[in-house]
Amino acid sequence: MADVREAIFAFIAARNPGLPSGAVTGDTSLVTSDALDSIGILDLMMHLGDRFGVEIDEDSFDLANFASVDTLAHFIDDRRSDV
Amino acid sequence: MAPTLLHHLLDGAGADDCPAIVEEAERLTYGGFRARVAALARRLRDLGLAPGDRVAILLPKSVRECVAIFAVSAAGGVFVPIHPSLRPRQVHHIVADSGARVLLTDAAHAAGLEGALDDCPGLRVLAEEVGPPEETGEDAAALPPGEPAPDGLAAILYTSGSTGLPKGVMLSHANLIAGTRIVRTYLGIGPGDRILSVLPFSFDYGLNQLLTSVEQGARIVLLTPRLGDDVVRALEAHRITVLAGVPTLWTLLTRAAPHLAKADLSALRTITNSGGSLALPTIERLRARLPHTAIVLMYGLTEAFRSTYLPPHEIDRRPDSIGRAIPETDIFALTPEGRRARPGEPGILHHRGPTVSMGYWKRPEDTARVLVPDPFPPPGTEPGFVCRSGDLVMEDADGFFRFIGREDTMIKTQGFRVSPTEVEAALMETGAFRAAAVIGLPDPSLGQRIHAVTVPAEGAPGTADVLQRLRTALAPHLVPRTIEAVAALPTTPNGKVDYKRLTAERAAAEI
């Protein structure tokens, strides 16, 4: 799961130049923080889908998956284990 | 009496205890709205704001932003809304170009500017909130009348032009009030409506939602969504009746909102699309998910607000149509020879009506290209100006129009108009390229997506490094989605980059 987590951090850092390191942690919410806008989240999911070979469908966008970086990393990691 | 100035809309709006704006847990009544507008207007006057002075507004979608828009008008000023995700460089351009005397912002945005506005002499930055007036007497909400003329300047909205940095489109009070009246009429907005606002107020159609809601004493609910389900939950929780969006929003809702299938959205009577055409599969999915909701497609340019709309009962017959003229407006297509195009013949869309803007701020040459003398002035009227859109369209036998393409190379992505020149300039600044041409390619989610065709410089950094630097320099919607390397750019016989060929080759390769 650590690699998924790092991929999410790297994606957010690339989208937010000037963001101090450590500003986004495993507990940071992707729903209520300004880390990503709506298109940013769509792009992140497509990126994670490609990178980890996970199919991203409509249900992948359940709000609960975005409660924190860690919950999203878990979700992607679980799906990856399915295949 | 009919309102003639923007802030008059608030005078006749809902009763004092009637809800006006909802932002998360905050609810502002019309009484509270009027009081806060009066307080901020007084503060602006105390700062020495003179009639016609520009006030830039850099705030997230919020009650505060709504108050700022009306307060600037009430203080006799001109409001200049700035999209909250713009980077310091673009903010500086808008503040400097408009010659703003005051910037209304918040602490987070002020900190993010990092001195970018230090060279704007005489600019006052107001980052703290101005509270409601103290209860000092019955005249707490009364203001000295500083009435500009109805045809005077009310707002400047910045939008990308074909020559680089964004240009300011000047809107009069009469323009904004006409747009409010026209849209409210054809959408049938009334006091009972609850409108969800997700589009920025720096975008003319997003601003129009606030104005129609206030004009009717309706309720507007403000939301900055991150996920499709954020939108669905807001629609459900607030029993929203009207939702306006751009193509990106419909993609979020139909592709990335699992709750949409389960939600009770029976209150939602109308959704409207503007800022780019909606792909047919998206329309079909929306209709399947929202069988009782009318879909109204619209077309327009900031220079003339909206021009056409497609009534919902026509969508099955002409799903690729941009519709027909909005009320109080004439729309016609002109051939290159300047004659009216016949049905089935392509021509440039022209617009005559009360929403035709005052042109571009301090750019008379650009204005002369887009506001042209009326070729067929209606008999008995003084010849005025019509807006030449630069969009190629075709009229059918029933008077409905179909969009064919841009006459120039402007890209429409995520509801934004993007000038290739501005993105190319940022690409070249990285030093990684010898040449760069930016084009728009069809994209079902974004309308168009930005694609850069480049000739790399020797020993240039990799694409990832370049994208990283572009993200620092440019707002997210301006960053190319893809960067392609070629040996040389094709040129026209005049030596100019052949954008048409670049676009046609790549669009064909994707089909």
Residue A14 burial (CB < 10 Å; 0-12/13-18/19+)? middle
Residues B206 and B5 sit within 8 Å (Cβ to Cβ): no
Looking from the CA of A12 toward its CB, the CA atoms found within 13 Å total: 24
Give pLDDT, residue B445.
83
Residue B389 falls inside a structural domain: no
Mutate to test the interface with A, among B85, B114, B226, B481 (most CBs of A within 10 A): B226
- A3 reaches B (C-beta below 8 A): no
- Name the domain boundary from B131, B148, B165: B148
Helices and strands (H and E) in chain B: how many: 14, 25
| Mean pLDDT of the region B73-98 | 94
Q: Is the predicted pLDDT of residue B247 greater than 90, yes or no?
A: no
Using a pLDDT cut of 90, give the percent of chain B over it: 65
In this structure, chain A runs to a length of 83
In angstroms, the first-to-last Cα distance of chain B is 56
Residues B221-250, mean pLDDT to the nearest whole number: 95
B226: closest chain A residue by CA: A38
Question: What value does the mean pLDDT take over residues B213-233?
Answer: 96
Distance CA B172, CA B157 (A): 11
Q: What is the pLDDT of residues B288-342, one digit of tens each?
A: 999 999 999 999 999 999 999 999 999 989 988 999 999 999 999 999 889 999 9
Q: Which of B165, B181, B178, B184 is nearest to B96 (CA)?
A: B165
Residue A51 scores a pLDDT above 80: yes
List chain A residues with CB under 8 Å of B477.
39
Q: Which residue has the higher pLDDT, B430 or B209?
A: B209
Nearest by Cα to B331 from B348, B319, B318: B348
Residue B216 lies in a domain: no
| Measured distance CA(B225)–CA(B217) in Å, rounded | 25
Q: Do A14 and B471 touch (CB under 8 A)?
A: yes
pLDDT attached to residue B146: 58
Contact (CB<8Å) A61/B467: no
Q: Which helix (H) or strand (E) holds B272?
A: strand B270-273
d(CA B504, CA B511): 11
Residue B132 has pLDDT above 80, yes or no: no
How sure is the predictor about B144, in pLDDT bands with cuts at 50, 70 and 90? low
Of B91, B117, B148, the residue at which a domain comes to its end is: B148
Of B257-271, B290-304, B384-398, B401-415, which gets the smallest average pLDDT? B401-415
Q: How far apart are CA A65 and CA B267, in angstroms?
A: 28
B132, B148, B164: which is the final residue of a domain?
B148
DSSP state of B394: E
A43: enclosing H helix or E strand: helix A38-52
CATH classification at residue B463:
3.30.300.30
B461 is a domain residue: yes
Task: Show the 3-state SS of B217-235.
Answer: CCEEEECCCCCHHHHHHHH
Q: Where are the beta strands (DSSP E) in B71-112?
A: 78-81, 102-105
Asked if residue B240 belongs to a domain, the reply is: no
What interface predicted TM-score (ipTM) does this complex get? 0.84
pLDDT at B140 over 60: no
- What's at B423, amino acid-wise? V
What pLDDT score was predicted for residue B418? 85
State yes or no: pLDDT of B141 exceeds 50: no
Interface test with A, best of B62, B199, B227, B413 (most A CBs within 10 A): B227
Query: How many CB atoms are closer than 10 A to CB B116?
Result: 16
Identify whether B382 is part of a domain: no
Confidence at B139, pLDDT banded by 50, 70, 90: very low
Chain A residues within 8 A of B230 when measuring between CB atoms: 31, 63
Query: Which range among B56-60, B178-182, B315-319 shows the weakest confidence by mean pLDDT?
Result: B315-319
Residue B59 binned pLDDT confidence (cut-offs 50, 70, 90): very high
Cβ neighbours of residue B17 closer than 8 Å, sequence gap 6 or more: B29, B30, B31
Q: What distance in Å separates residue A1's CA from the closest CA in chain B?
A: 23
The partner residue sitting opposite B85, judged by closest CB among A17, A31, A37, is A37
DSSP-derived secondary structure letter, B191? T
Q: Which residue of A has its CA nearest to B247?
A: A39
- How far, in Å, CA of B357 to CA of B79, rounded? 15
CB contact under 8 A, A42 and B414: no
- B33 pLDDT exceeds 60? yes
| The most confident of B21-30, B463-472, B490-499, by mean pLDDT | B21-30
| CATH (domain of B74) | 3.40.50.980
Q: Do A31 and B228 touch (CB under 8 A)?
A: no
Q: Is B15 left (phi over 0), alpha (psi -120 to 50) or beta?
A: beta
- Has residue B402 been placed in a domain? no
* pLDDT confidence bin for B87, thresholds 50/70/90: confident
Average pLDDT over residues B206-210: 97
How far apart CA A49 and CA B87 sit, in angstroms, is: 29
Structural domains of chain A sorted by starting position, each given as residue range(s) with its CATH number in brackets: 2-82 (1.10.1200.10)
Which residues are CB-contacts of B469 (< 8 A; sequence separation ≥ 6)?
A17, B430
Q: What is the pLDDT of residue B490?
A: 82
At residue B496, the pLDDT reads: 65
* Residue B3 pLDDT grade (very low, low, confident, very high; cuts 50, 70, 90): confident
The answer to whether B173 and B5 are in contact (CB under 8 A) is yes
* The residue type at B60: P
Contact between chains at A31 and B230 (C-beta distance less than 8 A)? yes
Per-residue model confidence (pLDDT) at position B507:
81
Band of residue B492 on the pLDDT scale cut at 50, 70, 90: low
Q: Which residues in B lie closer than 8 A to residue A30 (C-beta atoms)? A: 226
**Does residue B208 lie in a domain region?**
no
Residue B403 maps to a domain: no
How far apart, in whole angstroms, are the C-alpha atoms of residue A67 and residue A29? 5
Please determine, for residue B136, whether its predicted confidence score (pLDDT) is greater than 50. no
Token duo for residue A62: 């359940």
Q: Does residue B405 surpass a pLDDT of 80?
A: no
pLDDT, tens digit, 9 for 90 and up, residues B340-360: 999 999 899 999 999 999 999
DSSP state letters, B294-355: EEEEEEEEGGGEEEEEE-GGGTTT-TTEEEEEPTT-EEEEE-TTSSBPPTTSEEEEEEESTT
Q: In the beta sheet, which residues pair with residue B309?
A: B298, B324
Tell me if B226 and A59 make a contact (CB, 8 A cut-off).
no
Please count the residue pairs, one from chain A and one from chain B, whose beta carbons lie less than 8 angstroms apart: 65
The SS3 call for residue B69 is helix
Residues 6+ apart with CB under 8 A from A43: A11
Is residue A61 less than 8 Å (CB to CB) from chain B?
yes
Residue B499 sits in which domain range? 412-510
Between A17, A18, A38, which is nearest B226 by CB? A38
Structure pTM?
Answer: 0.86
Cβ distance A66 to B226 less than 8 Å, yes or no, reads yes
Mean pLDDT value across chain B? 90
Cβ–Cβ below 8 Å for B226 and A58? no
* Number of domains comprising chain B: 2
pLDDT at B137 (0 to 100): 44
In this prediction, residue B121 carries a pLDDT of 85
